[in-house]
């Protein structure tokens, strides 16, 4: 192991240089786990400390005796701690250093729980997190909390640094026990790259070079890992996003839209779509401090001029028309609550998203996450430093991306409207998979330029061709009530009688058009909405559609009928007792719901609202499939007869 007096490590062995030249990482973990010592050690051994600083550090180390007669790297950070004690707010200590392979910006975040908000702030701009653990104490709540928050904030590279190995006699057994426990914990996190290292920040073991005191560890030392880790942080490959920060009009001949390119790139002549206005234009010029540029990419602060006169204001966003951002007033988000005052659902806050500020509220809290077990807990509110999933509602629509796609356009903060205190940080989740039911049903077109072109074949011509008006048979009921079985038996019966008919089965939809949806109430609602849209297309084409879905919520059933057209929907409710449905279930969904693996499961963890105005109710626990099919067929014939159409052989 190299001593502190030796020069910074030379790169005797040349490795391929990663494409990224700057890595931002943070150190976090519980109190006294050695974060300051580790950063100090990295600064010392990479030559980031001047000789006069090193001499002063050696004197202070001898005077204080915190590391015996050796140099204590943690003293390098004392200046920042003094600043904190004097009331100068530097909650996260940022340090810069570099090696021949890469530049680094490290963020030393506080370990106390009450400063979790500072840790979250540091994590929001970091690409890698070093989670420190005291080898004598093992995993603590702060270890799990910081790991979860780092994952929540999009950090996909976690490094568990088991520190103070010198105090446990460099025990391989202790290291492996801690690593095993940690890997089990992070298994559920969105952090595919997890590395574990045994280190001693004070002694320098496995920090910049491999330690001969732990010959059983032959992987990369920490610094080499930081140099070589491949982090995909190049936002220039994403779709173009340009939040407008200011409109510049120095004279009547110039109107420029100022801001920083949040993602993607733009070239003169490229088309842009303005959100929320919906107008399109092309980039006429790109003005920068150094003059006009032909093109720019993510991170560039410029002013864009457009070929057309468009009313654009601060808070609007210019995006790629081919890959527009989501645009809605309602969405789901993960939030970290940062205020001593608990979250109050429905209370109005300022919501700051990119360059736009509007009012918003936590419409409802879906669950809180237990940082120790990662279990989802139903609670009415969140307290300081707690995290959870919620449904957000804003006064004005926002143009956004999921946080996993774009950390800038997918994040927001909540600010108290009276105290101006930042009370929460939010990360928007993928709206297609977690959208609040009502928001997708009533979502507006993203561009007013979209036009609907009707078919040239009239409904009367289709009725004349098929002999009857098309309609949708909406089969609803609990899982296991017989929807799929009856739907396909009915399809077979009607097809045999010459009817143009098809089945939309809720589970089958999840193999294709709804494959990304889960089984929450919102996602079930979205599955029904998509089915309703497809059913309407089938009916418009003259085809009878049998839609078999649970549809447990009365309001969403009404919305589905509205999409299809209430006059051409026959609602058939398959009414079977819950226990009978459980006995029929061979897929294990009910057992999974009992365990909590499936949330909002109708009849188990969510209410099933039995319809009161169904056109037909069938007791499938008492009737055979054939009886049910015959009853539905009879009701369908009645519908057709009332419509004044023939039945083409169906009696």
Q: What is the Cα–Cα distance from 471 to 544, expressed in whole angstroms?
A: 5
Q: Is the pLDDT of residue 7 over 50?
A: no
Note the residue count of the chain. Answer: 651
- Give the pLDDT confidence of 76-103 residue by residue, as tens digits: 665 555 544 443 334 567 788 888 889 9
CB 303 within 8 Å of CB 260? no
Q: Which residues contact 306 (CB under 8 A, 6 or more apart)?
A: 257, 272, 281, 282, 283, 284
Which of the pair, 85 or 260, is modelled with greater confidence?
260
Mean pLDDT, residues 186-205 taken together: 85
> Would you place residue 5 in the very low, low, confident or very high pLDDT band (cuts 50, 70, 90)?
very low
> Would you place residue 314 in the very low, low, confident or very high pLDDT band (cuts 50, 70, 90)?
very high
Q: Which of 151-160, 209-218, 440-449 has the lowest mean pLDDT?
A: 440-449
Q: Which of 68-72, 493-497, 598-602 has the lowest mean pLDDT?
A: 68-72
What stretches of 6-71 adopt beta strand conformation (E)? 22-29, 66-69
353 by Cβ neighbours in 10 Å (0-12 / 13-18 / 19+) ranks as: buried
Q: Is the pLDDT of residue 6 over 60?
A: no
- Give the pLDDT confidence of 402-429 residue by residue, as tens digits: 888 888 899 999 999 989 989 999 999 8
> Would you place residue 438 in the very low, low, confident or very high pLDDT band (cuts 50, 70, 90)?
very low
**Can you give the pTM of this predicted structure?**
0.58
Q: What is the Cα–Cα distance from 522 to 150, expressed in whole angstroms?
A: 27
Kindly report the backbone phi and psi dihedral angles of residue 132, in degrees, each rounded to the nearest multiple of 5, phi listed first. -90, 140
Kindly report the backbone phi and psi dihedral angles of residue 256, in degrees, each rounded to the nearest multiple of 5, phi listed first. -115, 145
In percent, the amount of the chain with pLDDT more than 90 equals: 40
Q: Is the pLDDT of residue 650 over 70?
A: no
Q: Is the pLDDT of residue 111 over 80?
A: no
Token look-up 């804003």 returns 394
Sign of the Cα torsion 594, 600, 602, 603 reads positive
DSSP 126-164: -SEEEEEEETTT---HHHHHHHHHHHHTT--EEEEEEE-
Q: Is the pLDDT of residue 14 over 90?
A: no
pLDDT for res 648: 44
Beta strand 422-428 with 326-337 is antiparallel
Q: What is the Cα–Cα distance from 504 to 472, expressed in whole angstroms?
A: 10
- Give the pLDDT confidence of 558-608 residue by residue, as tens digits: 989 989 988 899 999 999 999 999 888 877 778 777 766 566 788 887 888
């Amino acid at each position: 192991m190299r001593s502190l007096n030796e020069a910074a490590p030379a790169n005797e062995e040349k490795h391929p240089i990663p494409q990224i030249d700057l890595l931002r990482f943070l150190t976090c973990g519980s109190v006294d786990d050695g974060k300051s010592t580790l950063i100090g050690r990295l600064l010392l051994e990479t030559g980031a400390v001047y000789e006069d600083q090193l001499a002063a550090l050696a004197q202070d180390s001898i005077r204080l005796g915190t590391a015996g007669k050796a140099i204590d790297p943690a003293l390098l950070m004392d200046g920042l701690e003094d600043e904190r004690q004097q009331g100068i707010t530097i909650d996260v200590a940022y340090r810069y250093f570099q090696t021949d392979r890469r530049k680094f910006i490290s963020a030393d975040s506080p370990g106390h729980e009450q400063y979790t908000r500072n840790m979250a702030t540091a994590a929001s701009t970091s690409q890698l997190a070093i989670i420190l653990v005291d080898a004598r104490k093992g995993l603590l709540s702060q270890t799990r909390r910081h790991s979860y928050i780092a994952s929540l904030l999009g950090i996909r590279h976690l490094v568990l640094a088991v520190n103070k190995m010198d105090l446990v006699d460099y025990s391989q057994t202790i290291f492996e026990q801690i690593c095993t426990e940690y890997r089990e914990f992070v298994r559920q996190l969105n952090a595919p790259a997890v590395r574990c290292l045994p280190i001693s920040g004070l002694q320098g073991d496995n920090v910049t070079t491999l330690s001969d005191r732990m010959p059983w560890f032959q992987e990369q030392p920490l610094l080499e890992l930081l140099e070589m880790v491949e982090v995909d942080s190049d936002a220039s490959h994403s779709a173009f996003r340009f939040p407008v920060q200011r409109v510049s009009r120095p004279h009547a001949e110039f109107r420029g839209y100022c801001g920083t390119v949040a993602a993607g790139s733009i070239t003169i002549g490229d088309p842009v779509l303005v959100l929320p206005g919906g107008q399109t234009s092309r980039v006429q010029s790109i003005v920068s401090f150094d003059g006009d540029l032909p093109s720019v990419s993510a991170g560039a602060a410029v002013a864009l001029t457009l070929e057309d006169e468009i009313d654009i204001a601060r808070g609007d966003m210019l995006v790629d028309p081919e890959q527009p951002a989501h645009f809605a007033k309602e969405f789901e988000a993960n939030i970290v609550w940062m205020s001593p005052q608990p979250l109050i659902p429905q209370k109005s806050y300022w919501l700051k998203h990119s360059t736009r500020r509007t009012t918003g509220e936590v419409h409802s809290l879906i669950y809180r996450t237990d940082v120790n077990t990662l279990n989802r807990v139903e609670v009415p509110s969140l307290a300081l430093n707690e995290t959870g999933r919620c449904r957000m509602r804003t006064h004005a629509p926002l143009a956004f991306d999921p946080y996993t796609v774009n950390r800038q356009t997918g994040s927001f903060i909540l600010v108290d409207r009276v105290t101006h205190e930042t009370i929460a940080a939010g990360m928007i989740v993928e709206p297609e998979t977690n959208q609040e039911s009502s928001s997708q049903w009533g979502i507006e077109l993203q561009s007013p330029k979209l036009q609907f072109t009707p078919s040239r074949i009239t409904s009367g011509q289709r009725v004349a061709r098929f002999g009857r008006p098309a309609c949708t048979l909406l089969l609803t009921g609990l899982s296991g009530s017989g929807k799929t079985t009856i739907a396909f038996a009915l399809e077979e019966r009607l097809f045999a009688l010459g009817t143009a008919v098809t089945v939309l089965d809720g589970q089958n939809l999840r193999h294709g058009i709804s494959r990304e949806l889960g089984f929450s109430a919102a996602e079930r609602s979205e599955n029904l909405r998509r089915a309703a849209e497809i059913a309407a297309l089938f009916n418009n084409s003259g085809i009878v559609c049998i839609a078999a879905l649970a549809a447990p919520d009365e309001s969403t059933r009404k919305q589905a009928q509205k999409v299809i057209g209430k006059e051409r929907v026959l609602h058939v409710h398959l009414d079977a007792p819950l226990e009978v449905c459980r006995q029929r279930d061979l897929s294990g969904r009910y057992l999974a719901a009992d365990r909590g693996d499936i949330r909002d499961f109708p009849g188990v963890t969510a209410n099933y609202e039995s319809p009161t105005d169904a056109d037909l109710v069938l007791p499938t626990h008492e009737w055979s499939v054939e009886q049910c099919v015959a009853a539905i067929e009879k009701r369908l014939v009645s519908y057709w007869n009332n419509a004044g159409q023939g039945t083409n052989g169906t009696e």
